[in-house]
Structure 1
Amino acid sequence: MGLGIAIAVNGQPDAELIQASALEVSETMDKATTFSIRYDIDISEGDIPILIDNRLDVGSELSIMIPVDDTTHCLVKGPVHGHNIHLQHGGGGSWVEIKGSDTSIIMDRLTQSAVWSDVHDSDAVQSILSNYGYTADVQNTNALHETNKHTLIQRESDLGFIRRLSRRNGFNFWITSNENGDETAHFKRPELSGNAEAELVINLEDPNLDSIDIEWDVEHPTSMEGIQLDLNTKDDMDVAVNQTPQDILGNDGLSSITGDTRSVHLSAPADDVGDLQARGEGAIIEADWFIKASCQTTLENLGSLVRAHTIIELQGAGSRYSGNYYVSGVRHIINASEHRMEIELIRNGWGG
């Protein structure tokens, strides 16, 4: 029995490679999507052919796709960068795991030295992404790095630089691919106002969860104060972020739940009010996620494929914890019997 997947090598479907014994794909917020494909090992004429197969060797680009409801979804596309090998004497019970990541790993291979002047953060990101052939899904940023103030300095890989700018602005950065291999690089804040992609159900009729673990911690800042000196005009730049800039998943956000002020002072250097505001909002967005949940289900039980950076609804968890959550991670574990999804959720509110 097959895994119900399709695998393409350098853009070309390969019918042999779908004969894997197991497959894992891990999507995690602010990290590259990784994959692992396990194959049983056969010994032939004194050698082990799969260990020297060019299709699974250094730099080979694999795409892993799965059909769901007449739509083919690409779970990941990217290069092979490692093998885990287990050999048993005589061959029986031997296996190899093919390890790889999405193509963002290519952006992390070279350290760059660049000075970005008279640009916004989003302009720099757009320029970098154009060098890698991605379709850019980039949200505009406000901070302008002018030559006569502080230019934007890059002394790291392109991926490290983009992730730094992403965190500074309260954004996420991730790569997606469609079934044709066309890739989109996303650089933007979480989209929390859309409809849920699926419903997780527990304690109600027709459940698709056996269990879910939920935890919360409200010891997070809910506001930011920032005071800087404009080095050109010598005027004070005074910025305050008194509430989260993103939509609340629930009736009550963190600040209304705590009922008090929990502030943090932003001391990072900034050129203008826009830069200081963006950094402050980024800090509050990062602190905003005070609820975490984890659960698992199968594709058969849920009837939908869960992806990171989407909204999913939890039902049957009581009035406080039922509602929409943001998917911060999914681990797809696929074998001959099932496609299991281990799901990580975050939320910045409760009720409703």
Structure 2
Amino acid sequence: MLTGELGIRLMLLVGDTVPLPASGELVSALEQVQVTSDAAGGDGFQLTFRLSRGLVDYPLLLSGAVDPFKRVIVGVMLGAVPQVLIDGIVTHQQLTPGSGPGESTLTVTGRDVSVMMDLEEANEEYPNQPDFVIATTVIGRYAQYGLVPMPTPTADVPIMLQRVPRQAETDLAFLKRMAERNGYVFYVEPVTFGVNTAYWGPQTRVAPPQPALTTGMGSADNLTGIHFSQDGLAPVAASGAFVEPISRTAIPIPQLPALKLPPLAAKPVMPRRTRMSRGSGQESPARAALSVLAAATNAPDPVTAEGEVDTARYGHVLRARGIVGVRGVGLSYGGMYYVRRVTHTLRPAAGAYTQSFSLSREGTVSLLPAVLP
């Protein structure tokens, strides 16, 4: 389905375990698509359909095509390369009846396929297994949703006589809890249609940068607006101690810097707040130090930027959890940023495609003398 003059093709697949191209009835009723990719809050989507009522009910509702727990894949094609925005599951419907023909709307909301990990709580033990092996095992239970495990190894190997990792929550909550205590993140990201990576590891900043976001440079501009902010209370220093097992002496752990590599700013905002790792006294020295490091790493970035991309000028899909350069805003706030959130909004009938974004990094002043387009 072409979205007008932009030459962007929207692709919609729906179904049960294996989604198929949407029917003509579903496509013609589609009014708006909104997909949000959020590095912190997870990915979600919202589809809005314009409905006409039949003799006894709305045909689209009777078909059950977008009932809860249907699988939905949304993709776009800019040029010749298709890109999947989300592979998700419908979780909610909202019907708004209208007074005249074609004035009723159906809004369908859902989350990425990781929501299927969040349905059933479990009580499990994983003796003598490091966290990354446990994560691989848990993710492997959801192969029918195209999840490919991508865990990053962890150094701590628990011994049964000292500690046994236990699960007392849903698989998704368990994976996120294990990730947080290692200073890691967990998310599901589509690779292609029906295939998703389940990443469990540190926040990555080593991917090739995406095409730059540009403002104040005349014909090279591709933003409709951008603004920056700096929160001096966002960074957090962490402290803690572990107990030496023979003398039972509490040994303090020195404050450790946040593990966000590579750095993106030459002038990082120094933390003024300190958080105590209160459970470190019951852990081994290595595990206690990791808890302190994770607390500092999990703190939010103090410098953020929000704005909107002119997709026609930008010519690309901006992806969350990647790196992008910002040009034309000066040395202090220009340079490379981590893309925290992107909201894609498509209106097929109007031929409109906008991308609003949120960026972040640990400080000001670019590390690079210039940002490439």
TM-score (norm 2): 0.87
Deviates more, 1:167-176 or 1:325-334: 167-176
Distance change >3 Å, CA 233–CA 41, structure 1 → 2: farther
Distance change >3 Å, CA 194–CA 253, structure 1 → 2: farther
Aligned length: 348
1:136 equivalenced with 2:149 (yes/no): yes
The one of 276, 279, 286 aligned to 1:268: 279
Q: Distance in 2 between matches of 1:142 and 1:149?
A: 16
The residue that corresponds to 2:266 in the other structure is 251
Give yes or no for contact 2:256–2:293 (8 Å, CA) kept in 1.
no
The residue that corresponds to 2:224 in the other structure is 210
Structure 1 vs Structure 2 CA RMSD: 2.2
The one of 8, 13, 17 aligned to 2:21: 13
The one of 198, 201, 219 aligned to 1:188: 201
**2:27 counterpart letter in structure 1:** I
Shift of 1:83: 0.9
Give yes or no for contact 1:150–1:271 (8 Å, CA) kept in 2.
no
Shift of 1:325: 0.6
The one of 68, 72, 82 aligned to 1:72: 82
Shift of 1:54: 2.4
Distance change >3 Å, CA 35–CA 323, structure 1 → 2: same
Q: Distance in 2 between matches of 1:217 and 1:274?
A: 32
The residue that corresponds to 2:304 in the other structure is 292
Residues 116-170 of structure 1 deviation map (CA, whole Å, 9 limit, x = unaligned): 2212221211110011112111111223332111222211111111111222222
Q: Distance in 1 between matches of 2:273 and 2:47?
A: 46
The residue that corresponds to 1:127 in the other structure is 137
Deviates more, 1:265-274 or 1:206-215: 265-274
Shift of 1:67: 0.9
Q: Distance in 2 between matches of 1:305 and 1:313?
A: 14
Q: Distance in 1 between matches of 2:142 and 2:58?
A: 35
**2:61 counterpart letter in structure 1:** L
Structure 2 residue matching 1:91: 3-state secondary structure = coil
Structure 1 residue matching 2:106: 3-state secondary structure = strand
The residue that corresponds to 1:63 in the other structure is 73
TM-score (norm 1): 0.91
Structure 2 regions of 5+ residues with no counterpart?
4-8, 367-373
**1:341 counterpart letter in structure 2:** Q
Residues 212-263 of structure 1 deviation map (CA, whole Å, 9 limit, x = unaligned): 12111223455433211255885656533432322211212233xx7xx764
Shift of 1:47: 2.1
Structure 2 residue matching 1:274: 3-state secondary structure = helix
Give yes or no for contact 1:166–1:172 (8 Å, CA) kept in 2.
yes
The residue that corresponds to 1:165 in the other structure is 178
Distance change >3 Å, CA 230–CA 50, structure 1 → 2: farther
Structure 1 residue matching 2:90: 3-state secondary structure = strand
**2:279 counterpart letter in structure 1:** A
Q: Distance in 2 between matches of 1:13 and 1:254?
A: 48
Structure 1 regions of 5+ residues with no counterpart?
none
Structure 2 residue matching 1:251: 3-state secondary structure = strand
Which stretches of structure 1, 4 residues or more, deviate above 4 A after TM superposition? 230-238
The residue that corresponds to 1:347 in the other structure is 361
Shift of 1:195: 3.0
Q: Distance in 1 between matches of 2:337 and 2:127?
A: 38
Identity across aligned pairs (percent)?
19
